[in-house]
Homo-oligomer: A and B are copies of this chain.
Amino acid sequence: MTTQKRAAQTRSRILAAAAASFAEHGYDATGVEEVCRRAGVSKGAFYHHFPSKQAVFLQLLDQWLETLDDQIASILSEKEDVPAALVTMSSLLQQVFQAASGQLPVFLDFWAKAARDPEEWQATGAPFGHFRDLFGEMIAAGISTGRLNAVDPQVAAATLVAFAAGVLLQGLADPHGADWGQVAEEGVQLFLIGLERN
């Protein structure tokens, strides 16, 4: 039993080390050796727990997506007023940006790979579509309660997600080029004007 615990610990140390290294230099520029050094394990241990470097990459993404999913779901469940929930979302953007700011570039690495290899996309990228659905349901709910105009919920959701992704994208490469928190908030407001009934 102790050995299993040790194994789990080793596993998570590798994951943590990989997360840090990937965030620092990017996926490609990070060698397995560095991850091992950082985790304090041998290469043998690394390849005992993971079949490849890519496997830990995808594993990390899975973890993060799950976390993000939980955060979003909790916001959606708390608020019953749809417009207010959307505004809350905009502040989530800021949180995401600050909390995971170090790890966000890793998403870019992944995205760049996924854009070229559809298989890789489906392996882990597909859950992203889930976000669109979540927003879509939220907006559909807003429409049915009469709080929002009768737009196509899917399109509106895609618009929203696109906006959020774009804000992150720009904030990533040019953190001080604008007040991205303000942009997130006011952008959503702008969007809401077109969406809200009257």
Q: Which residues of A does B touch, CB under 8 Å?
A: 24-26, 28-29, 104-105, 108-109, 111-116, 121-122, 125, 128-129, 132, 151-152, 154-156, 158-159, 161-167, 169-170, 172-174, 177-180, 182-183, 186-187, 189-195
Contact = CB atoms under 8 A, between A and B. Distances in A.
B190 A151 contact: yes
Q: Which of A132, A163, A167 has the most CB of B within 10 A?
A: A163
A108 B104 contact: no
A158 B183 contact: yes
A163 B163 contact: yes
Given A105-B112, A165-B170, A129 B177 contact: yes
A178 B115 contact: no
A104 B109 contact: no
Given A105-B116, A162-B162, 20 more contacts: A28-B28, A105-B112, A111-B112, A111-B169, A121-B173, A122-B174, A128-B173, A154-B178, A155-B183, A156-B190, A158-B167, A158-B178, A158-B187, A159-B186, A162-B167, A163-B163, A165-B170, A166-B167, A169-B169, A193-B193
